[in-house]
Amino acid sequence: MDIYFDNAATTRVRDESVAAMNTVMREDYGNPSSSHKAGRRAGGILADARKKVADALGAQPDEIYFTSGGTEADNWAVLGAADVLSRKGRNIVTSLAEHDAVLNTVKELEKKGWSVTYLSPDNIGRISKDDFAAALRDDTVFASIMLVNNETGVVNPIEEYADEIKKRKLTTVLHTDAVQGFCKVPFAVKQLGVELLSVSAHKIHGSKGVGALYIKKGVKLLPLLFGGGQESGKRAGTEALPAIVGFAEAAALGAAELNETTDGVRELREYMIRQLTAELPEVVFIGGVSPQKSQLRGDTLHNVSAAVSSPFILSLSLPGYKGEVLVNYLDGEGVCVSRSAACKKGARSRVLEAMGLRNDIIDGALRVSFSRSNTMEEVDHFVRKLKSAADTLLKAL
């Protein structure tokens, strides 16, 4: 049995998206910027796709700008805002738990003289409202905190950050990387109160190579790419229409199915937690999964509500084992999981380090991430194989 539990890295493209993409590639292949009939038809398809993504986000179509993916959207948000806002102030607030697409971009600005306040997550991986509020300064012109952490699944209180900015009448532009939250936790951009928000297609059963940046109406952002007048002159380059159409189909279906999918995935996750606890008592769950005596810092974790953690990600650890060895063993048994973010390629998780976890917890960490197509049978198989890995590796010590 081959099992795929690495959906936070990427998802299988759903059949409806494939069908929509094929139609565009075969029949509607005109350039959306062309003025002839084929171009006008392609332009209409592009407009329809933009509306579908906007509707899924609770935005207006003219607030959605298509990109090559989440990384470009994050880079554009950080660099584009910095260019526009630098005359008002040069302080940025972000966290040590951000995706590299944000963190490394911010570090580049830091090299150019920007001051950056890096917030550390608490012991469940969350950036508290109080810490965020304490970090804000009069010259903080930009802040970026992710909605759902890609390693722990912890949900940050973005709406509370926005409320704090508004309450203090600051001009801070707030960005959130919602790549792991889009069509996975309920939100609307207006409710969150952000000015900028990044999403990606391949995390929601669309294709790789396409994403979008929400730019709130009235917010100025310098383009990252220059050239033609595509995307209202803000993002040059012929739109990747097949990928965009597949993205829009996945977004529309994902939004419509959100409650049903979330309920099913949450049931799988809770079942896995119960089975792992029964079969592997030494397992440690990271990210506020349930009330438990914490083996992380020696304190007691409080009961954390479901809203604090996405049901699509389960971060766990077998202290005393090596995560990369467990991943390789499971891979040999046909089970795909990861240690942390896929782009880390085996490096130690700086997110878990920033949480202050013990080294043996970090080294033994695994990330299991679910999709709408996973089953209870797959959960049982994973638990058996992980127990077998622990027993086999223990004998080898």
What is the rounded average pLDDT of the residues 140-167?
97
How many domains, in total, are found in the chain? 2
Whether residues 270 and 339 share a domain: the answer is yes
Whether residues 119 and 186 share a domain: the answer is yes
* Residues with catalytic function: 343
Name the more confident of 303 and 390. Answer: 390
* Domain stop point among 235, 256, 277: 256
pLDDT (tens digit per residue) in 156-176:
999 999 999 999 999 999 999
Whether residues 249 and 287 share a domain: the answer is no
pLDDT (tens digit per residue) in 212-238:
999 999 999 999 999 999 999 999 999
* CATH (domain of 307): 3.90.1150.10
Residues 56 and 250: their CA atoms lie apart, in Å, by 10
Exposed, middle or buried by CB within 10 Å (0-12, 13-18, 19+), for 42? buried
- Residue 189: C-alpha distances to residues 74, 197, 334 (Å): 16, 8, 39
- Residue 155: C-alpha distances to residues 131, 275, 337 (Å): 15, 24, 21
Closest CA to 84 of 238, 220, 242, 248: 220
Mean pLDDT: which of 74-78, 227-231, 297-301, 347-351 is highest?
Answer: 74-78
Whether residues 240 and 262 share a domain: the answer is no
* 149 touches 127 (CB < 8 A): no
Q: Which domain holds residue 383?
A: 3-11+258-396
**Strand-pair partners of 315:** 286, 367
Whether residues 163 and 272 share a domain: the answer is no
What pLDDT score does 297 carry? Answer: 36
Residues 44 and 280: their CA atoms lie apart, in Å, by 55
pLDDT (tens digit per residue) in 100-132:
999 999 999 999 999 999 999 999 999 999 999
* Domain stop point among 226, 256, 286: 256
* Domain stop point among 229, 256, 283: 256
Structure tokens at 378: 């797959």
Mean pLDDT of all residues in the chain?
A: 93
Whether residues 36 and 123 share a domain: the answer is yes
Closest CA to 45 of 292, 193, 243: 243
Whether residues 190 and 311 share a domain: the answer is no
Whether residues 45 and 151 share a domain: the answer is yes
Whether residues 242 and 272 share a domain: the answer is no
Band of residue 83 on the pLDDT scale cut at 50, 70, 90: very high
Q: How many Cβ atoms sit within 10 Å of the Cβ of residue 229?
A: 10
Residues 277 and 191: their CA atoms lie apart, in Å, by 37
pLDDT (tens digit per residue) in 308-363:
899 999 999 999 999 999 999 999 999 999 996 555 555 679 999 999 999 999 99
* CATH (domain of 207): 3.40.640.10
Whether residues 118 and 199 share a domain: the answer is yes
* 371 touches 311 (CB < 8 A): no
Whether residues 294 and 377 share a domain: the answer is yes
Whether residues 273 and 242 share a domain: the answer is no
pLDDT score of 306 more than 50: no
Q: 3-class DSSP state for residue 112?
A: coil
Exposed e or buried b for every residue in 152-190, given b needs 16+ CB within 10 A?
A: bbbbbbbebbbebbeeeebebbbbbbbbbbbbbbebebe
